[in-house]
Structure 1
Amino acid sequence: MLPLKDLEEQLLHRADPCLPASDDGARRLLVLKQYRFHKKLEIQLFRGCITKDGRLKNPLTPIDPLAAVLQADDPDELRFYAAVSRFQNNPTAAVTDDDLAALQMIFQNPAGFHFHVHNPEFSESVVAGSLQAVTTGAALHDLSILVAQADGFYDIRPQLNAAEGPVDLRVQRLLFGYFLRIGNVLHLPASMQVWKALRFFLQYPGGMRLRPVDFETFRSNILSKLEDSLSIVYTYAQAMPPDAPEAQHLYTPPERVIYLSELGSYVLINPVMKYGESEVPLRSRRPLYRTDAKGSLFQLDRDGRAEDAFLAQILQQHPHFGEQLSEPLPYFYLHRRRFLDEGWFLDAFAQWRSEGIAVLGFSALKGNRFNEHKPEVSVRLRSGINWFNALIGVRYGKQKASLQQMQRAVRNRSKYVTLDDGSLGVLPEEWIRRFEGWFAAAEPDGDELPVPKTAFRTLHELFAEESWDEDVRREVGLYESALLRAGAVPEAKLPEELHATLRDYQKRGYDWLRFLDEHNFGGCLADDMGLGKTVQAIALLLAQRERHREHPDLVVVPTSLLFNWEAELERFAPSLRVLRFYGPNRARQLKSTTRYDVLLTTYGTVLSDGSWLEQQQFNLLLLDEAQQIKNPSSLRYEAVSRLKARNRFTLTGTPVENATLDLYAQLSFTCPGLLGTPRSFRALFSVPIDQFKNSKRAAELQQRVAPFVLRRSKLEVAKELPEKTELVLHCPMGEEQRKVYDAAEAEFRAFLEGTADEDVARNTLHVLRGLTRLRQICNSPLLASDTHVGADASSKIDVLTERLTGLVPGHKVLVFSQFVSMLELIRTELEKRGIGHAWLSGRTRDREGAVRQFQEDPSVRVFLISLKAGGTGLNLTEADYVFLVDPWWNPAVENQAIDRAYRIGQEKHVIATRLICPDTIEEKILQLQDTKRALSDELIQSESAFAPSFTKSEWLELLSH
């Protein structure tokens, strides 16, 4: 076994007998000493104990500063230990700036060490008795060089002041090459320049005497360069009299200038006070002197108060500047990335300029393309004819940015805009958002942003009201009071030529249309189907003809509604001269269009004759069933948008069929600019609303379009509606269908004409077969088995499916036909469009199940019913629209069908629509219904009971048209 002493040394750890450093009985020591073999400074750290009477005692335990770094949390302590390690086992040949900086860090003493100086005469080793306690004092910076004249020479001598008072350099030395020891206080030179001058004058404490010729050289080469860091005092200089001619321009307030330059990756910020022609760095101690005409030297006082204020204005722009005050530099500095890339300079420069400080040298920084100014944006909003014109000026100092340049930058989401001189103006995020809003509202035109007057509701968001001129304030007030408050639209007089009595809601619709038109606003009348949009529009056509007669109106409708519009115009406004601009003969009509008040045409004609129509000037341009232009990228939308008109209106029962873009197309047509560009509309509304169901954006969109869309549902105007409204919807045949019908009619006519009167009465079955065939062809040529025409040749199916598509989202609909085969064709079209429907014919076994499906299933929107199967015994009160696909001889049968929806206790108002092919036997059936409507049901029961009462001539009359 090893000896017990060896085992103790190897196995047992003896803790330090001293108390912890935080205890009053322990002390941490910083010892300044001299290396054993040379006179360089060495710094060591120790832990020592003290006696009860406060004396330090041995042993002293060394502290490794690098090990202390691992235990330190405070950043200042980390720097302290790193600075100490610099002076251990690493003597340097010369004193450097880094040495002085490390000593300044040590003198801050964040770890709370007690400073001691080692006395090697007591012991070469550091022991308690070899240490003398010292304290650290303020840095030495008040070193002046006094220049005096004596006996024809110049005497140069130093003057040093410390916190304790004047210091006699003749009895001083630099302890360890760095410190002045005054009593028990160690002072460290504040800068390398002070250290070098102090070291020099400690060698020559009495100063120097120079001849005048040598002094001038010394002054220009030495003293002038020391003036920024040391105080140079010419004792023989006199105070400049304020009234001296040389002083007049020197006593004006000094100018403040900041010069910018570069040093590596840093931008240097050098503040200068300019006294007359003399520039003095703000951080220098340079005096101001002037020599008069006689050669006398005069001293001028620097404006200390102004310089302190200038310094404060610099410091408040960045926290780093305050930290740099302790560094002996004539400038402040920031890393180039922080100075330029983070846009710091914009705020700093703006603040300095606002306080009258000039900033020079920015454009000379290497690779710098930035403009040094923040954007200054001026806005003036004026009223034009159809626009509010915002005159917007954007300037960056002396440079201008056009609205087109701003738009490119904003569209590219760039933080910079290219200016006229090629420099880059920085766009703050606040201005990017503001310009995004402006460019979403309108496209720039030169220096102006023409915002359509239809967008008056957005003006408060876009432009501060102090930028509005008086006309803008007045007009916006008028529009807001009339269009944003219910019932506030002023009443307008109905035209005397109108042959109709409008219901109250229709009169309000007419008033609204008139108000919009008088202020050159377009609009969309979007009442539910059957509420009389056409008659309201016709009233407008009549009214504005009194004021605008120089150009005709243009009404564009689907081909299927052309006949209906002709009939309605003739019925309600017979005084209007109407030209049906449609069909193969329209080329001959081109020269005569100016003789008419209204041109009535179709969407297809606008597409085919667009080149001619685009050259014409119209008064009103009115689109019916305007959902036809719901796609803003379609040829149809582009064609109608190119037409020139004083004003535009649309009619539709379904302003939005699938997505918000439907609404954009219609309102961009009637109110150009209201909803901005397609790109901005998609970003602001379409994507948030359609994809993410953003209710806030939906409310914003509704608020924007509300003044220009008038929609009344049947429920809203229920009190003004009759219990049942019966309409006739004409469905003109297409070319193929007409060809089939005309051939069948000619064949039937030939049969009648070639048959004797008495034979016609005997061949009733053959006559009825001919009538039925004509009626089937009116529905669809496919119902007549001997025809060969495509399934799309039915004008009724086209019109019906178009109407159903618009109605089914909010209504339930009954569709009656005498022919089950016609209902089957309709069912096929509904299935193609994904419209839920129920079916009832004579072959349906579960009638109650079909009825219950329609009444209770919300996905079932349409009920297809055979007229005979559903004429009696049904109660279908969920429906509020009824379509009669083909007219029946007996109006009582049709009324029974309509009454399936209208029952006692029914809360909905029912609108029944008969589909009629004009210029066919169906028109004659309608006329026959009118003449026979007063007869009792017993007299007219069916075709077979009805037929014998007709003579041959009456049958032929039935075929005439």
Structure 2
Amino acid sequence: MARRGQRQPAARRNAPRNQRRVRELDNEGIIPVLARAVREVETAVQRGSVMPSVRTKFQIVALLVREERARVKADEDSTEAQRNEQLKRLDGVATILAKTAARDTSLLQLLAEDAEVSPAGRSLKREMLRAGGVEPPPEPVAASQPDATTSAFERRVVPQSVVARQLANPFLTPDFSVAEKRQVSPRRLATWELLGPLFRSFEYGGASSCMDLPEPTAQRMHSVPGDLELMPHQAKVVAAAAAGHRTFLLADEPGLGKTAQALLAAQAADAYPLLVVVPNVVKTNWAREAGIWTPNRPSTVIHGDGHTIDGFADIVIVNYEVLDRHVGWIGDFGFRGMVVDEAHFIKNKSSQRSQHVLELSERVRSRVARPLLMALTGTPLINDIEDFRAIWQFLGWIDDKKPLADLMHALEETGLTPADPGFYGAARTSVIEMGIVRRRKVDVAADIPARRVADLPVELDDEEGRSIRAAERELARRLVSRYETALATRTSGSVVEGIDHELVRRVATWEREDTNSANDGENVFSMMRRIGQAKAGLAADYAAQLARNVGKVVFFAKHIDVMDVAEETFAKRGIRYSSIRGDQTPKARQKNIDAFVNDPDVAVVVCSLSAAGVGLNLQVASDVVLAELSWTDAEQTQAIDRVHRIGQESPVTAWRIIAAQTIDTRIAELIDSKAGLAARALDGSDEEVSSSADVQLEALVALLTDALSESV
């Protein structure tokens, strides 16, 4: 039985009936989500820990059980046996609810028909529905409000800088080649339903899911700014764009540089202005990468209502979450290229973000004959291929019912129909040559380092982020005050022009050693902990994306509360995880290690840096997320070496999450510089290997020096 709001994948339709029934009833849909949630409520009540969040979860589980029961009973597409099985499982959840309410009778009032559902409850209900694969219905609009469509339009904005650009250039350059688009009149395939066979052609497998790419020229390999250099597999995609190819489903595994490939492909195709739609967690990184790879093309990031964007930028970066506010002006902006990162986010065509992305793609294609359209995703193509229906539509390969002109022409050229044995292989090749590019780390191992650390800057643009930056400014002011006091009371009589760097270092040393400084404000230690807490959700969200793309991921954090946030995030995403903490018994620790290493369904292991930084072999993964910075490169290296060790067959990437515009960035730079000193010391030089105290001191020195420089 297909879940609500989703089309049943072709592979699932062809599966044996019993196998399909077991998988769908036991592992998919809303019922497993309810079962997990009700157990969490039961455990909390048994412990006597009935927090408001537990009461909310109890109420929402009860509501969803009631709704799901009504839906199952009314489902005429299911057999009676299937309905009975699902009703039996719902009864099990209801029984646990009843036993839990008997233990704490205050919960009974939440079961009343007129019980009010809080905003937090409505939000939790939507999260649980999405976790069960169901797109939540739109929230009802109060009678005093306009209808939902009107409300959506009222939320739309036009930033002032965009208005300025439109006034400066009110007429977009016409593209007369739009009228010359190839029109294909289907011949032998005119009466065939083709989308189903196209999707099924990928389920039959094949030698490769990568189009033929041209070999890059030596000039192309080195046509990047500064001392940067493209890796061969990256240069091939850029060469294809330079040769005229304009649509790409770039499905390389994470760590192979898809961002750089997209930016340089846009440059090769002169696809400016370029629109980039990304998840919130990576939009700051996209801006940074644009500055590195295409420094002559200014980029801008849309935050909120877009008050700070540069309307004259060549690259406009927007995250899915605010796209609804900007879709109006973006559609009229005149973009000649569009990149969608983590493109599997749009697989549900009924979701608002998918509809906005598809609308923008259609508007770009209606204005420009051959725009550059790139969908980036690390998700393997062989899994649930019909999920890529929306991506193919974004790229202009298909519409809701049929292949569009270019793909139809390629299918006609095969001379085959779905009734011919060779059709599926030929059709698969035709789709791949439209622009599917899929490389794994092991395929291009010679191109990339065996181990690398990739920084992922994230923007802390919420209230906590603003509070952290304010605390950092306060710490800087306190340091300046101590410096000025020391300068005024100095008895040596010596005078130093400009900043007295020796005194700066002494003031920083006093601050580091002054254990009472926290009484008057934040110190560098508490600030780093707050930063770790603030970016915990973003780090976990990125780890969840990696887990869905490449499989197993190792997640490292310093503090327990950061680990707690990560585990809550994975649970909400329906991602199974295990945990390695310092308070575990040896037996529990080994059980969790074995679960991660041996159970293919356990996708993430959440590790404490102090408890799991040494003595573990986790090489079943090749991706590490460092949610918090270590104070030493050695601690960071020890964590990465849990994965990068003898026997590892894939290149290892450690994703270091950095809070932009905070002291986090400075500390990352210091750790890297100290790592260079340590490497030289190990090679036999006279340099001393730095300690964590060195990094803490240097961070304070840098903070005070920057503050004094700004005041000059």
TM-score by length of 1: 0.44
Residue by residue over 1:876-900, the C-alpha shift from the partner in whole angstroms, topping out at 9 and shown as x without a partner, is: 2212111111111211210111111
Return the match for 1:601 from 292, 295, 318: 318
**Larger % of helix: which?**
2
Return the match for 2:395 from 654, 670, 682: 670
Distance 1:552 1:440 in 2: 32
SS at match of 1:622: strand
Query: Greater CA deviation, 931-940 or 605-614?
Result: 931-940
In 1, are the aligned partners of 2:612 and 2:639 still within 8 Å (CA)?
A: yes
CA shift, 1:514, in A, is 3.7
Return the match for 2:373 from 625, 648, 661: 648
CA shift, 1:875, in A, is 2.2
Alignment of 1:147-546 (within 5 A): 385-390=180-185, 435-437=190-192, 486=212, 494=220, 496-499=223-226, 500-515=228-243, 518-519=244-245, 521-545=246-270
1:705 equivalent in structure 2: 431
2:692 equivalent in structure 1: 942
CA shift, 1:738, in A, is 1.8
Query: Greater CA deviation, 698-707 or 717-726?
Result: 698-707
1:716 equivalent in structure 2: 443
CA shift, 1:647, in A, is 3.1
Structure 1's 900 and 762: CA in aligned 2 closer, same or farther, altered over 3 A? closer
2:89 equivalent in structure 1: none
Residue by residue over 1:97-143, the C-alpha shift from the partner in whole angstroms, topping out at 9 and shown as x without a partner, is: xxxxxxxxxxxxxxxxxxxxxxxxxxxxxxxxxxxxxxxxxxxxxxx
CA shift, 1:675, in A, is 7.5
Distance 1:714 1:588 in 2: 36
Structure 1's 496 and 735: CA in aligned 2 closer, same or farther, altered over 3 A? same
**Larger % of strand: which?**
1
Distance 1:837 1:942 in 2: 31
CA shift, 1:496, in A, is 3.2
Query: Greater CA deviation, 766-775 or 831-840?
Result: 766-775
Letter in structure 1 aligned against 2:691: Q
In 1, are the aligned partners of 2:274 and 2:338 still within 8 Å (CA)?
A: yes
Alignment of 1:612-761 (within 5 A): 612-643=329-360, 644=364, 645=368, 646-654=371-379, 659-673=384-398, 676-677=401-402, 702-707=428-433, 708-755=435-482, 760=511
Structure 1's 657 and 729: CA in aligned 2 closer, same or farther, altered over 3 A? farther
SS at match of 1:567: helix
Residue by residue over 1:826-866, the C-alpha shift from the partner in whole angstroms, topping out at 9 and shown as x without a partner, is: 11111222322221122122144433332222222211111
CA shift, 1:655, in A, is 6.2
Distance 2:648 2:380 in 1: 28
SS at match of 2:337: strand
Return the match for 2:540 from 781, 800, 813: 800
Distance 2:584 2:210 in 1: 53
For the pair 1:823 / 2:601, whether they are aligned, the reply is no
Letter in structure 1 aligned against 2:233: Y
Residue by residue over 1:375-412, the C-alpha shift from the partner in whole angstroms, topping out at 9 and shown as x without a partner, is: xxxxxxxx9844342188xxxxxxxxxxxxxxxxxxxx
Structure 1's 530 and 761: CA in aligned 2 closer, same or farther, altered over 3 A? closer
Return the match for 1:832 from 555, 572, 597: 572
Letter in structure 2 aligned against 1:541: A
For the pair 1:552 / 2:273, whether they are aligned, the reply is yes
In 2, are the aligned partners of 1:522 and 1:647 still within 8 Å (CA)?
A: yes
Structure 1's 808 and 587: CA in aligned 2 closer, same or farther, altered over 3 A? closer
2:632 equivalent in structure 1: 890
Any gaps of 5 or more consecutive residues in structure 2?
A: 1-177, 202-208, 408-420, 487-506, 682-687
1:763 equivalent in structure 2: 514
Letter in structure 2 aligned against 1:705: V
1:918 equivalent in structure 2: 660
CA shift, 1:677, in A, is 4.8
Structure 1's 858 and 820: CA in aligned 2 closer, same or farther, altered over 3 A? same
Structure 1's 662 and 573: CA in aligned 2 closer, same or farther, altered over 3 A? same
For the pair 1:772 / 2:567, whether they are aligned, the reply is no
In 1, are the aligned partners of 2:671 and 2:695 still within 8 Å (CA)?
A: no
1:871 equivalent in structure 2: 613
Distance 1:633 1:959 in 2: 54
CA shift, 1:530, in A, is 0.5
Letter in structure 2 aligned against 1:544: A
CA shift, 1:619, in A, is 1.4
SS at match of 1:868: helix
For the pair 1:563 / 2:284, whether they are aligned, the reply is yes
Distance 1:833 1:960 in 2: 46
CA shift, 1:912, in A, is 0.8
Distance 1:867 1:485 in 2: 42
Distance 2:390 2:561 in 1: 38
Return the match for 2:601 from 848, 859, 868: 859
Letter in structure 2 aligned against 1:574: P
SS at match of 1:389: coil
2:412 equivalent in structure 1: none
2:553 equivalent in structure 1: 813
CA shift, 1:641, in A, is 2.4
CA shift, 1:923, in A, is 0.2
Letter in structure 2 aligned against 1:929: I
Distance 2:232 2:698 in 1: 45
Structure 1's 861 and 605: CA in aligned 2 closer, same or farther, altered over 3 A? closer
In 2, are the aligned partners of 1:737 and 1:780 still within 8 Å (CA)?
A: no
SS at match of 1:913: strand
In 2, are the aligned partners of 1:731 and 1:796 still within 8 Å (CA)?
A: no
Letter in structure 2 aligned against 1:602: N
Distance 2:242 2:477 in 1: 54
CA shift, 1:952, in A, is 6.5
CA shift, 1:763, in A, is 0.8
Distance 2:349 2:444 in 1: 32
Larger radius of gyration: 1
Q: Percent identity?
A: 26
Distance 1:959 1:664 in 2: 56
Residue by residue over 1:700-752, the C-alpha shift from the partner in whole angstroms, topping out at 9 and shown as x without a partner, is: 87445322211111122223222102100111113223223234334434443
SS at match of 2:336: strand
In 1, are the aligned partners of 2:234 and 2:261 still within 8 Å (CA)?
A: yes
In 2, are the aligned partners of 1:607 and 1:639 still within 8 Å (CA)?
A: yes
Aligned residues: 462
SS at match of 1:561: helix
TM-score by length of 2: 0.58
Distance 2:255 2:537 in 1: 19
In 2, are the aligned partners of 1:523 and 1:671 still within 8 Å (CA)?
A: no
Letter in structure 1 aligned against 2:431: V
Distance 2:378 2:708 in 1: 35
Structure 1's 893 and 558: CA in aligned 2 closer, same or farther, altered over 3 A? same
Structure 1's 388 and 853: CA in aligned 2 closer, same or farther, altered over 3 A? same
SS at match of 2:669: helix
Distance 1:621 1:484 in 2: 21
